[in-house]
C-alpha cells in the first residue's frame, strides 16, 4: 500500500511539475466548447433562446377555425418563437424536401365545419427529419392548439352551428332577432367560463430557489451545458490514455525492470497506475467543469451527483486503457491504436455530433462508449434527475475492465 | 572457502527458434567484480531480465546467498540493477529520483535522504542534486543511473552496459565508481562488449557468446588460454577465402589461425621468429596487405580464440 501511494504521489508530482500537456488538455475542450457555442449562438452569454422555428402553414380549410389558428401564430410570444410562412401544399412539400423549414402544419379542408359539426378531424404536422428539437416544439404547439380548439368546439357547439349557418347567408338575410338567443347563450357561457378562467383560480408560478447569499440563476437553455460534456469526455479519454501509456514507456526504458528488483509487486504497480490515471482524470475533469461553470455560466445541477458521475467515468477510462495497454505490444502500437479508438468513441458516443443527430441505424453503437453514458448522465443531472443507468453501466463495465487489466498486465509485465 | 553470493546453473531461454541462453552457468563470489564480455546478441540482457523476474519461460536455477532467488521476493531487493536504458524520471531532479526509488525499498525518509546525499557525492552530482535531469549530460545521467541502483545498499549490483554512448572521460569516471563499489564489498556483474573496460575494472572475466559462457577466470588465467604466443593482426583488401587458401599452402608449424574475415585476419605464433617467413609467403602470393600489427597476448586474442570473431563483428 505504501509503495502504491508512493507511485501515485510520484505520478501526480511529475504531472504538476510539467503541467503543460495537462493544461492543454484542459484548455482545448473549453476552447472548443466556446467555439462551437459561438457558432450555434453568436450572442450566447450563458443563457440562450432557441432559434426561430421555420413553420410552413397550409390552409386548405380557409374557414373560421383555421383563421383563428393562423391568428394564434401572430400573438407576440408565439411570433417570437415561430417564423410562419403561408404556402399551398405543393410548394410546402417542395420546401420541406429542400429542408427549408423545421415543420409544416396542414389545416385540412372542412376543418372549421367538422369542428362545428363535432366530427373528428385532424391537424397534420410534417416534420423535417434532419432536425430533432425544433420540429418537436412545432409539434407540441400544434398539439396544444388542437386540444384547445377541441375544447372550444365542444363548449360552444351550438353557437358554432349557428355561426356556421350564418356564415353561408348574405348579410341582409341575417335577422338580429334570430341571432339574439344564440348570442345571449354564448354570452352566458362566456361569463360562466370567465369566472373559471379570469382570474384563474389556480395559477402556476415557477421559480428556481437560490442558495443563501446567491442571486437567482437565470433560467433557460444553456447551449454550453449541452456541448461541454461531449468535449470534456473526449479530452478526458486523451488525458487518461496518455497517463496509462506510461506503462509502455516504463517498460521500454527499463523502469519496470528496475521496479521489479524492488519489493514492489506487479499488482501494486498496476493498482498504482490505474489509480493515478483515475485521479488525474478526476482532477482535470472537475477543474474543467468548474471553469466551465464560471466561464459559460453552466449550472451543473446536483454537484455531488455530478462528481460521482465524473468519478465513475474516469474510473472507466483508466480501467479501459489499462486493459488495452496490456494487449498492446509496445508504446508505438499503443500510440497508433489509442487515438483512432478515442475518435470512434467521440463520433459514435455523441462528443462530435449530438446523439440525436447520429443516424438511427448507428445509434445503438453509442451504448458501448463512455462518451454516451457520460453525456446522458450529465444531461440527466442538469435536468434534476439521477442517472442511475449511467452509474451502473460505467461502474460495472469499469470493474470488468479493471479486472481484465490487472490479470493481463501482470502477464505482460512478467512476459 | 568463500561462499558464492550468486550461483546460476544451466539457465536456458529461447525466443521461438532463437536460443538466447543455452545451459548458462556462472558463480559469483562476495565483492567480486565480474565482467561479462560478449558481443551484441550474446544473451547478456536476457540474463539480466531473468534475474529481475521480468522474463519467464526459462529453465535452470538461480541461487542467491544459497536460496532460490525466485522463491523469496525479499531476496531480490538485495540486488541492485543499472539497466542499459536511463531508467529514471527525467522530469524530476536527481534527489527526487533517488528519494522515489529508495522509497520503493521502504527506507525511512531520514536515512534515505542521507544515503541519497552520500551517493550523489560519490557520483559527483552533489552540486546538481535539485536540477531537473533533462538538463544533465549523457555521462551525468549514466552516473545517476548507477547511484539509483545503489540507493538501497545492495549486496549484488547488476550493470547492463553502463558506459554506452558516453565520452572517454565520463567512461573513466564510471569505471572508477564500479571499481569502488566492488572494493566496498558489493559484488558486481558488469556486462559490456568493450574489452578495455573489463581489463581495467574486473577481478574476474567471463566470455559469453550465443547464450553460453565460453571461458571464465582472471585476466591472467584467460590470457594463458592463448598461451605465450605473439598475435599478428593482418589487414588489407583481401577476402576471407583468398586469405585462408594462401595460408593453407604454407608451412603452418607453430602458427594458429585465430580468426579470418574479409579484410582482416588474426594469427597466433608460438615462435615469433616464424612471423617474417609467413609474411613473405603472403607477399609472394600477392596478397594486398596494407597493415600488420604484432601484439602481446591479451583479452582480445582470447576472445578471438574462443569465438573465432572479433567483438566488433
pLDDT tens-digit series, residues A2-39: 888 888 888 888 888 777 777 877 788 788 888 877 77
Cα–Cα distance, A96 to A219 (Å, whole number): 33
State whether B103 and A259 contact (CB < 8 Å): no
Q: pLDDT value at position A209?
A: 43
Q: How many CA atoms lie within 13 A of B219 on its CB side?
A: 15
**Chain A residues with beta carbon closer than 8 angstroms to that of B70:** none
> Mean pLDDT per segment of 10 residues, for chain B of length 313 residues?
79 86 88 84 83 80 87 83 87 90 88 89 83 85 88 88 80 83 86 80 85 82 73 85 82 75 82 78 83 77 71 51
C-alpha triplet A43, A45, A48: angle, nearest 5°: 70
Interchain CB contacts (distance < 8 Å): A and B? 80
Cα–Cα dist A94/A101, whole Å = 10
Shortest CA gap A414–chain B (Å): 4
Separation of alpha carbons A136 and A138, rounded Å: 5
CB contact under 8 A, A257 and B77: no
- Run of H or E residues at B64: strand B59-64
Which is nearest to B207 in space by CA: B17, B26, B8?
Answer: B26
What pLDDT does residue B130 have? Answer: 87
pLDDT tens-place string over residues A310-333: 999 999 999 999 898 888 877 788
Is the separation of the CB atoms in A363 and A376 below 8 Å?
no
Distance of CA A181 to the CA centre of its chain: 55
Amino acid A320: pLDDT = 92
Tell me which chain A residue has its CA closest to the CA of residue B132: A17
Asked whether the beta carbons of B238 and B292 are under 8 A apart, the reply is no
B78 at interface of A, judged by CB pairs closer than 8 A:
no
Q: How confident is the model at residue A114 (pLDDT cuts 50, 70, 90)?
A: confident
Position A101 pLDDT exceeds 90: no
Better pLDDT: A171 or A204: A171
Q: Between these two residues, B223 and A93, which has the higher pLDDT value?
A: A93
CA distance B124 to chain A (A): 22
Q: How confident is the model at residue A196 (pLDDT cuts 50, 70, 90)?
A: low
Contacts of A262 in chain B (CB under 8 A): 76-77, 101, 104-105, 152
Q: What strands lie across the sheet with B187-192, from one edge to the other? A: B79-82, B156-160, B187-192, B33-37, B204-209, B212-217
pLDDT band, residue A206 (cuts 50/70/90): very low
Instruction: Look at residue B100 in the predicted model and tell me its pLDDT.
Output: 92
- Report the pLDDT averaged over residues A239-251: 85
Task: Please report the pLDDT score of residue A176 as a whole number.
Answer: 66
What is the average pLDDT score of chain A? Answer: 78
Nearest to B53 among A13, A254, A260 (CB): A260
Listed residue (A71, A74, A65) closest to A151, CA to CA: A65
Mean pLDDT of A73-94: 80
**Stronger pLDDT, A79 or B311, i.e. the higher one:** A79
pLDDT level of residue A210 (50, 70, 90 thresholds) = very low
Inter-chain CB proximity B54 and A413 less than 8 Å: yes
Query: In terms of residues, how long is chain A?
Result: 415
pLDDT digits (tens, 9 = 90+) for A149-173: 777 777 777 777 776 676 666 666 6
> What residues contact B63, with CB distance under 8 A and at least 6 apart?
B6, B7, B8, B9, B69
Whole-angstrom distance, CA of residue A188 vs CA of residue A80: 35
Chain B segment 46-65 residues within 8 A of A by beta carbon are 48-49, 52-56
Q: What ipTM did this prediction achieve?
A: 0.73
| Cα gap B258→B72, rounded to integer Å | 45
* Cβ–Cβ < 8 Å for A253, A392: no
Is the CB of residue A415 less than 8 Å away from at least one CB of chain B? yes
Which residues in chain A have Cβ-Cβ distances shorter than 8 Å to B54? 256-257, 260, 413-415
Q: How confident is the model at residue A202 (pLDDT cuts 50, 70, 90)?
A: very low
Terminal-to-terminal C-alpha distance of chain A: 24
In this complex, which of B77, B81, B100 lies closest to A257 when CB atoms are compared? B81
Contact state of A415 with B53 under an 8 Å Cβ cutoff: no
| Residue A242 to residue A412: CA distance in whole angstroms | 19
pLDDT tens-digit readout, A393-406: 999 999 999 999 88
Which residue blocks in chain B are alpha helix, DSSP H? 44-52, 73-76, 94-103, 109-122, 138-150, 168-183, 195-201, 219-226, 240-248, 275-284, 299-307
Rg of chain A (C-alpha set): 31
* pLDDT at A207 > cutoff 50: no
Residue A194 has pLDDT above 70, yes or no: no
Amino acid at each position: 500500500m505504501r509503495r502504491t501511494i508512493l507511485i501515485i504521489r510520484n505520478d501526480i508530482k511529475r504531472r504538476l511539475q510539467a503541467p503543460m500537456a495537462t493544461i492543454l488538455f484542459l484548455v482545448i475542450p473549453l476552447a472548443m466548447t466556446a467555439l462551437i457555442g459561438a457558432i450555434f449562438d453568436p450572442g450566447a452569454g450563458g443563457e440562450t433562446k432557441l432559434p426561430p422555428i421555420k413553420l410552413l402553414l397550409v390552409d386548405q380549410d380557409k374557414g373560421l377555425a383555421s383563421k383563428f389558428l393562423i391568428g394564434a401564430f401572430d400573438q407576440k410570444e408565439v411570433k417570437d418563437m415561430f417564423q410562419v410562412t403561408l404556402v399551398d401544399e405543393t410548394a410546402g412539400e417542395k420546401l420541406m424536401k429542400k429542408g427549408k423549414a423545421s415543420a409544416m402544419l396542414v389545416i385540412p379542408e372542412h376543418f372549421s365545419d367538422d369542428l362545428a359539426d363535432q366530427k373528428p378531424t385532424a391537424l397534420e404536422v410534417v416534420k423535417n427529419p434532419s432536425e430533432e428539437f425544433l420540429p418537436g416544439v412545432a409539434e407540441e404547439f400544434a398539439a396544444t392548439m388542437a386540444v384547445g380548439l377541441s375544447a372550444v368546439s365542444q363548449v360552444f357547439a351550438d353557437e358554432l352551428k349557428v355561426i356556421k349557418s350564418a356564415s353561408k347567408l348574405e348579410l341582409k338575410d341575417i335577422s338580429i332577432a334570430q341571432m339574439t338567443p344564440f348570442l345571449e347563450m354564448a354570452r352566458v357561457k362566456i361569463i360562466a367560463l370567465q369566472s373559471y378562467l379570469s382570474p384563474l383560480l389556480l395559477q402556476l408560478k415557477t421559480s428556481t430557489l437560490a442558495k443563501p447569499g446567491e442571486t437567482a440563476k437565470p433560467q433557460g437553455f444553456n447551449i454550453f451545458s449541452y456541448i461541454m460534456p461531449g468535449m470534456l469526455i473526449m479530452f478526458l479519454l486523451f488525458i487518461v490514455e496518455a497517463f496509462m501509456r506510461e506503462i509502455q514507456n516504463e517498460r521500454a526504458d527499463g523502469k519496470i525492470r528496475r521496479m521489479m528488483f524492488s519489493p514492489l509487486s506487479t499488482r501494486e504497480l498496476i493498482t498504482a497506475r490505474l489509480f493515478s490515471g483515475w485521479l488525474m482524470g478526476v482532477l482535470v475533469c472537475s477543474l474543467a467543469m468548474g471553469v466551465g461553470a464560471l466561464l459559460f455560466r453552466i449550472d451543473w445541477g446536483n454537484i455531488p451527483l455530478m462528481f460521482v458521475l465524473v468519478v465513475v467515468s474516469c474510473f472507466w477510462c483508466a480501467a479501459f486503457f489499462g486493459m488495452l495497454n496490456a494487449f498492446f505490444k509496445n508504446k508505438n502500437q499503443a500510440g497508433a491504436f489509442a487515438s483512432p479508438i478515442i475518435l470512434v468513441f467521440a463520433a459514435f458516443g455523441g462528443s462530435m455530433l449530438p446523439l440525436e443527430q447520429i443516424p438511427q441505424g448507428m445509434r445503438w453503437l453509442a451504448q458501448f462508449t463512455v462518451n454516451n453514458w457520460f453525456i446522458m448522465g450529465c444531461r440527466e443531472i442538469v435536468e434534476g434527475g439521477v442517472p442511475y443507468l449511467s452509474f451502473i453501466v460505467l461502474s460495472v463495465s469499469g470493474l470488468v475492465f479493471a479486472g481484465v487489466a490487472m490479470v493481463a498486465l501482470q502477464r505482460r509485465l512478467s512476459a | 572457502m568463500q561462499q558464492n553470493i550468486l550461483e546460476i546453473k544451466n539457465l536456458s531461454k529461447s525466443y521461438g527458434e532463437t536460443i538466447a541462453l543455452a545451459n548458462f552457468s556462472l558463480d559469483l563470489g562476495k565483492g567480486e567484480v565480474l565482467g561479462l564480455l560478449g558481443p551484441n546478441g550474446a544473451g547478456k540482457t536476457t540474463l539480466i531480465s531473468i534475474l529481475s523476474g521480468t522474463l519467464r519461460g526459462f529453465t535452470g536455477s538461480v541461487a542467491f546467498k544459497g536460496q532460490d532467488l525466485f522463491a523469496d521476493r525479499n531476496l531480490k531487493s538485495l540486488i541492485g540493477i543499472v539497466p542499459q536504458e536511463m531508467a529514471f524520471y527525467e522530469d524530476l531532479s536527481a534527489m527526487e529520483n533517488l528519494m522515489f526509488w529508495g522509497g520503493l525499498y521502504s527506507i525511512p525518509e531520514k536515512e534515505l535522504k542521507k544515503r541519497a546525499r552520500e551517493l550523489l557525492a560519490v557520483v559527483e552530482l552533489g552540486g546538481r542534486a535539485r536540477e531537473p535531469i533533462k538538463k544533465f549530460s549523457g555521462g551525468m545521467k549514466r552516473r545517476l543511473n548507477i547511484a539509483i541502483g545503489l540507493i538501497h545498499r545492495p549486496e549484488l549490483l547488476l550493470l547492463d552496459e553502463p558506459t554506452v554512448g558516453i565520452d572517454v572521460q565520463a567512461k573513466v569516471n564510471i569505471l572508477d565508481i564500479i571499481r569502488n563499489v566492488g572494493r566496498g564489498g558489493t559484488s558486481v556483474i558488469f556486462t559490456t562488449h568493450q574489452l578495455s573496460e573489463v581489463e581495467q575494472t574486473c577481478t574476474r572475466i567471463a566470455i559469453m557468446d550465443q547464450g553460453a559462457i565460453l571461458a571464465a577466470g582472471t585476466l591472467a588465467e584467460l590470457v594463458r588460454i592463448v598461451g605465450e604466443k605473439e598475435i599478428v593482426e593482418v589487414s588489407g583488401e583481401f577476402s576471407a577465402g583468398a586469405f585462408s587458401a594462401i595460408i593453407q599452402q604454407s608451412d603452418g608449424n607453430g602458427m594458429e589461425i585465430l580468426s579470418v574475415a574479409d579484410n582482416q585476419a588474426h594469427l597466433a605464433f608460438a615462435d615469433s621468429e616464424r612471423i617474417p617467413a609467413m609474411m613473405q609467403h603472403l607477399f609472394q602470393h600477392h596478397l594486398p596487405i596494407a597493415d600488420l600489427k604484432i601484439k602481446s597476448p591479451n583479452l582480445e586474442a582470447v576472445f578471438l580464440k574462443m569465438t573465432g570473431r572479433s567483438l566488433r563483428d
